[in-house]
Structure 1
């Protein structure tokens, strides 16, 4: 079923690449709210981890979360075949945002719980912090996507902040480009999306757009 849904969304000129799907059972090693998680180490392989002992596991299966996680990871496989996941924070934000919008394109809905993890008052400061780290290949991935305390210049990053920023960044791009589809964007460079949509995301978050002379220094 998942393969048929994905194939239906892909354009005729995009082949379904061969992908090995590893299903593993690991107690306590999944997203606590779901009892599921996924990981894509390379373009031809993804791993889906299940925890049947998790109290939310059966409800997650019934809700279709297994299919949604598989779809998300499949987009990572597509992106690995072209521009890659990326090595900077900006590239990671876009790769994760595209993967969850691909899930939305294939399976419907409005993203996952990690795509809506920030309150209105948290956005401005986090967007400024993200801008400062955009081009860094030594950014702390775990910090930005799973939360925690960073160095003094970063401070506390809420859980799933990177996923939420990435999802809404790609969403802003799609709003500005109604003809665009995540299924057609696996090869789109991250900075193409950031350059066109970041200012729009800032405005929606309530963060004032910087003066023109400052924007030259930013995405």
Structure 2
């Protein structure tokens, strides 16, 4: 069962929280959502996994009171069915791995991007991916979110690296590949706004100045400044995502069309070497 029926877990959380004091709400959420995941992530402490999900957009424990209504609306919009259909289409198309897909409500405490409050987010691993969504999320946005995250799972399955082993160059290429997958399936209009935020020339200049010296920095947690931007490092917003997109586009321009099932298995160094973004 690739798409886990998380609506059942959500109803269970709602029912359990009605009988618990406020200081036990987090424990209820952790027990019902996180504990079953430990078999997929045996090396990850439960608290660390819980924090990762919360940090990625999982609804906060105190938001349980809206769960029943939220789940009913998501069911009416057939969110689980839409994702299942897309997974069944993409897995053979990309020769992708079997993953477990978890769908949960997005927290009300949402960041603001480009002047708009976020209405979705996701996080992917090579064995599982998580989608955090709102009840007003359009079907097209839901499918592009899934495409992006499932492509991450495909790439991570090939790389076979833990988050701590990932290099900065792996993370940048990972994001660029996922955005290309979205564009290939749904067109340029479906790209994230930061994919083309900076021109090819701007991206190449920043790549040479700031990224090339840091390409072997290990650990996903150490890549955030490069992906999202950092004033102290003089890195503009979303620059890593934009550079990743330009890298993949230049590789395809130089090498010609490549099937996704092949593209996601190209070693990072080979892809960089075939692009305009050399590491020299």
Q: Which residue pairs with 1:112 in the alignment?
A: 192
Q: Distance in 2 between matches of 1:13 and 1:147?
A: 31
Structure 1 residue 24, shift from structure 2 partner: 2.6
Q: Compare 8-17 and 90-99 and name the one that shifted more.
A: 8-17
Q: Report whether the alignment pairs 1:80 with 2:156.
A: yes
TM-score by length of 2: 0.59
Q: Bigger radius of gyration, 1 or 2?
A: 2
Q: Which residue pairs with 2:130 in the alignment?
A: 47
Structure 1 residue 173, shift from structure 2 partner: 0.8
Q: Which residue pairs with 1:28 in the alignment?
A: 109
Q: Report whether the alignment pairs 1:161 with 2:242.
A: no
Q: Distance in 1 between matches of 2:174 and 2:85?
A: 23
SS at match of 2:159: coil
> Residue 180 and residue 95 in structure 1: after superposition, are their counterparts in 2 closer, same or farther (change >3 A)?
same
SS at match of 2:109: coil
CA contact (8 A) 1:144 1:162 kept: yes
TM-score by length of 1: 0.73
CA contact (8 A) 2:169 2:216 kept: yes
- Give the alignment of 1:1-219 within 5 angstroms: 1-5=82-86, 7-8=88-89, 14=95, 17-30=98-111, 32=113, 33=116, 34-40=118-124, 42-51=125-134, 58=136, 61-62=137-138, 64-84=140-160, 87-109=166-188, 111-119=191-199, 122-128=202-208, 129-137=210-218, 140-150=222-232, 155-197=233-275, 200-201=276-277, 218-219=279-280
**Aligned pair count?**
190
Identify which of structures 1 and 2 has the higher relative contact order when contacts are C-alpha pairs closer than 8 Å and 6+ apart. Answer: 1
Q: Distance in 2 between matches of 1:145 and 1:14?
A: 28
SS at match of 1:117: coil
- Give the RMSD, CA atoms, in angstroms: 2.8
> Residue 183 and residue 7 in structure 1: after superposition, are their counterparts in 2 closer, same or farther (change >3 A)?
farther
SS at match of 2:138: helix
Structure 1 residue 68, shift from structure 2 partner: 0.6
SS at match of 1:114: coil
> Residue 102 and residue 123 in structure 1: after superposition, are their counterparts in 2 closer, same or farther (change >3 A)?
closer
